[in-house]
Structure 1
Amino acid sequence: MQWFSQDKYEIRLEWGLSAVEHLAREVDCAVIVDVMSFSTCVSLAVDNGARIYPYPWKDESARKIGAKTASPDRRFSDKGYSLSPVSIQRISEGESLVLPSPNGSAISFRARDAAITVFSGCFRNLSATAEACSGFRRVLVVPCGERWPDGSIRPSVEDYAAAGGIIAAMGRGSCSPEAQSAIAAWHFYQTQNLLPLHECSSALELQQRGFNEDIALCLEVDTAKLACQLYGDFYASVKRRHDGW
């Protein structure tokens, strides 16, 4: 056991791509939390019956699977899609969309390569994600964070709080100190209806760029009833069994 493994506990939490690289092979499933905006976009698309391919494939690869490619520019003004959750709201059932994301997509696929079950979680599908994890003993929750201009990780409070909310909804006693701290953050913001998160750094960035509607969508709690699971190359709704998840 490595000092960083949190091996003593069923529910574990650590940040970003390095968390997956160092801890994923010691758990049964991982929850990737990238609230603003990858995980929110995935939830919105899956709610509408669409599939999300979470990485920047080349155009010819997208065409092979009949998928559109979302623009990485939020200001994409055409009728297509972008990493803006508002644009994903109108996606149709049965559509397939390649969604470029430097954090959520890369971390999702790295977790998949560890041969574990991978979910995408956010505030919108908080309870559904927790329920989907109920059949797994060892769970790693990964708040993705954002990036500084030099490429280093910037821990983001919205990802941390959402991760804590998912863990709290699991209702498990065996949580690492890192997971317990995230639960405390969730309880703090929950008592204030997440209002302070409208002024967090990630939200202020979106405000300055004119994407207030995206912030509102990202901070909705439990408005989605579907959990999002990575099946090979795409996210879709968790398949239910007759006896539950």
Structure 2
Amino acid sequence: MTVYTQHGHDLRLDWGGDGVRALGEDCAVLVIIDVLVFTTSVDIVLGRGGRVLPLPWRDERGQRLAREAGATLVPSGLTGLDGARLSADRSAGWSLRPSSLVTVPEGTFLGIASPNGATLCAAAASTGATVLAGCLRNATAVGAAAHTLAAGRPVGVVAAGERWRDTEPPRLRPSLEDWLGAAAVAAAIPARTPSPEAELAALSYRSAGDRVAELVTGSVSGRELAEAGLPGDVSLAAAVDSSDVVPLLNGEGILERWPG
């Protein structure tokens, strides 16, 4: 065990895939945060009585895994990382975009790949921790659930971040919206001995107060989506505590609502 596990603290916070690996060594619960947009999309689908199979990004096994699980694989070109353009075109039907999912029928089962949130959920499944998917919409509910499920053991919150596009594979770009999402979950967990990383996050969220939506909208990621004609996705993602959905990754690697 190394200092990177933030050992000795009952609430911990880190970033990206390395954060999943470090915190997953010792945490009973891992909460994955990808506000724009994977975990927001998950919240919306599960809130309508659906389920989501998170799939690793650019993994040729994705189609097979979705087919074997009986999930509908949705297009995932929201960020342009796969060469697709950002688009507000609704004719394509369901996608990674939250606003494309607000009318999914009850019982819908979607397979969604994304470079950040979905990939991290899939990776977190292998750590042995209980995995939750959190966002600004469900931060308080997810924080309370994480505390309950951990039963006194450590909770790790992992902000997914975004990606720079100048390297292959693209480098992690820490993002304001995921910092705020992770901070909101951290602030909702009654930790006795939070790590400095988790404590500062919670303090920053409380300090932001009612400006959270404004900050997300004005962030680089929020502006990127708005300039692509997708301001509705940003508004959905920034609706703090508008949901009480707790997405939990079950033993089959599927995100479903907890408690079932």
Q: TM-score, normalised by structure 2?
A: 0.87
Contact 1:70-1:97 within 8 A present in 2 as well: yes
In structure 2, the partner of 1:164 is 183
CA distance in 1, matches of 2:90, 2:12: 40
CA shift for structure 1 position 193: 4.5
CA distance in 2, matches of 1:169, 1:70: 32
In structure 1, the partner of 2:69 is 65
1:145 and 2:165 are equivalent in the alignment = no
1:201 and 2:220 are equivalent in the alignment = yes
Instruction: Sort the Cα spacing of 1:207 and 1:70 in 2 relative to 1 into closer, same or farther, 3 A.
Output: same
Identity of aligned residues (%): 31
* Post-superposition CA distance 1:112-158 (Å, at most 9, x none): 10111000000111111011112212100000000000211000111
In structure 2, the partner of 1:235 is 255
**What SS class does the counterpart of residue 156 from structure 2 fall into?**
strand
Matched letter for residue 45 of structure 1: V
1:7 and 2:7 are equivalent in the alignment = yes
Contact 2:98-2:233 within 8 A present in 1 as well: yes
Contact 2:53-2:66 within 8 A present in 1 as well: no
**What SS class does the counterpart of residue 194 from structure 1 fall into?**
helix
CA distance in 2, matches of 1:148, 1:132: 33
CA distance in 1, matches of 2:66, 2:125: 20
**What SS class does the counterpart of residue 4 from structure 1 fall into?**
helix
CA shift for structure 1 position 2: 1.2
Matches within 5 A, 1:43-54: 43-54=43-54
Q: Which runs of 5+ in 1 are unaligned?
A: 241-245
Matched letter for residue 181 of structure 2: A
CA distance in 1, matches of 2:196, 2:69: 43
Q: TM-score, normalised by structure 1?
A: 0.93
Q: Which runs of 5+ in 2 are unaligned?
A: 79-86
In structure 2, the partner of 1:175 is 194
45-54 vs 76-85, greater mean Cα deviation: 76-85
**What SS class does the counterpart of residue 25 from structure 2 fall into?**
helix
CA distance in 1, matches of 2:73, 2:38: 14
CA distance in 1, matches of 2:107, 2:213: 33
CA distance in 2, matches of 1:83, 1:140: 25
In structure 2, the partner of 1:243 is none
Q: Give 4+ residue runs of structure 1 displaced > 4 Å after superposition.
A: none
Matched letter for residue 41 of structure 1: S
CA distance in 2, matches of 1:60, 1:134: 35
Matched letter for residue 71 of structure 2: A
